[in-house]
Amino acid sequence: MKHVLIIGGGTAGIMTAAQLLKGKNFKVSLLEPAEYHYYQPAWTLVGANAYNFDKTRKSMASIMPKGVNWIKEFAENFHPENNTVETKSGQLISYDYLVVAPGIKIDTSMVEGLTEAIDKGVVCSNYTDPEFTWNVIKNFKGGTALFTQPTTPIKCGGAPQKIMYLADDYFYKKGIKKDTNIIFATPGGVIFGVKPIANTLMDVINRKEINVRYHHALVKVDGDKKIAWYKITKDPKVGGCVILEDKSTDNCIDETINYNPKKVKITKENGLYGIHFDMLHLAPPQTAPEFIKNSVLSNDAGWLAVDIHTLQHEKYKNIFGLGDAAALPTAKTGAAIRKQVPIVVENLTRLSNEQSISTKTYNGYSSCPLVTGYGKMVLAEFDYDSNFTPDPKLKQMLVFNSDKEHWRLWLLKKFMLPYLYWNKMLKGENV
């Protein structure tokens, strides 16, 4: 019986192991040092006091598929020519086939001052401590509430917006919305890459009177002075348009950089623009883990080099990669993994039995549930070409336009998706 070694006990690793064991064709080992497994998609709701953090965590032992040889070690080095992986303790583990799914690493060192500032004072992140995020939001008294994201890929690209829309709702209910300016600073030039979803989100932006700052690359955070420093990556329109100044807005405003402008305190220094804030929520920079970046399996950008359709490694044909560490030009979400796992499992089965992979391919499907307030959500489903591809099953929930806000989609996010995750996906069922 062939041996499959899986690196990573996150969504991708557990799902792959569970599906492989259902076929009873392989001996499966899984390399994962963590004691707990987290359902991170719910952390947005935790940060808005709409979900219990404890319900997002289960012991790794409780979700490990029956029959897996669980190796509680860190992967350290790859030796693909010898079909072995070296652990941090120096142990060599051999394999016939290798599945690499270690997830993504948060790297606060990529933004100056962020390591010192994050999860302290009024600087928070759902990616690191969603319970602290809620403390910051509920203690906010008004002023400038800044929400931002980095220039790197991140888990669920829509997450930095979701907590902003929920915070806006909370500020309104608390009666401090009139004393608050909400800013969303993003390095991109659009609110979302899928046009029907972007249209709806711009309606939300306008309704909530949120100031969007496009082409803003975060380079430094001063937690003590409460200033986030940005490099503007696009020149303003010709004509001396105002892009950031907090003075008169009578002049031309370049809305491709500063949309729905607000008068907030801005400091310009050494070519950077500093936005003064009274609270800051951000998605920190994220990269592939070091042992991936520094390995022979990575591409020039440090991500796992796999074919974007077959998920087979570009050089080593008995290695497959999926999930957040893989170099796939789509959103890094659990929904994407849900579609990637069956491709990897079928390819491994075919490769073992017939020495060739399946003709089935991954089209880049991903999904981002975009919460737009308490009780409201839009569901973005799309492929590599950013085509909007809603699941026909949504009609069973009486949702016929998932690119529009709907309360039933909120129920899907809060109740149905966690249930499906713990009880179906992690048990190897295709949902």
CATH 3.50.50.60: does it fit domain 108-282? Answer: yes
Q: Do domains 2-104+288-363 and 108-282 have the same CATH topology?
A: yes
d(CA 25, CA 354): 13
Is 252 a catalytic site residue?
A: no
- Condensed to tens digits (0 to 9), the pLDDT of residues 41-73 reads 999 999 999 999 999 999 999 999 999 999 999
CB-based contact 284:118 (threshold 8 Å)? yes
| pLDDT tens track for 22-43 | 988 899 999 999 999 999 999 9
Where do the domains of the chain lie?
A: 2-104+288-363, 108-282
Q: What is the pLDDT of residues 330-360, one digit of tens each?
A: 999 999 999 999 999 999 999 999 889 999 9
Alpha carbon 118 to chain centroid distance? Answer: 18
29: left (phi over 0), alpha (psi -120 to 50) or beta: beta
Task: Write phi, then psi, for 40 (nearest 5 degrees).
Answer: -70, -25
Catalytic residue among 124, 241, 252, 368: 368
> Which tens digit of pLDDT belongs to each residue from 79-112?
999 999 999 999 999 999 999 999 999 999 999 9
Whether the pLDDT of residue 407 is over 60: the answer is: yes
State how far the Cα of 230 lies from the Cα of 221, in Å rounded to an integer: 9
CATH 3.40.190.10, applies to 2-104+288-363? no
Q: Is the pLDDT reported for residue 238 higher than 70?
A: no
Task: Please give the pLDDT value at position 245.
Answer: 60
Q: Active site includes 156?
A: yes
User: CB under 8 Å to 121, separation ≥6 — which residues?
Assistant: 223, 226
Sign of CA dihedral 317, 320, 325, 329: positive
Whether 250 shows a pLDDT value over 90: the answer reads no
Whole-model pTM: value is 0.95
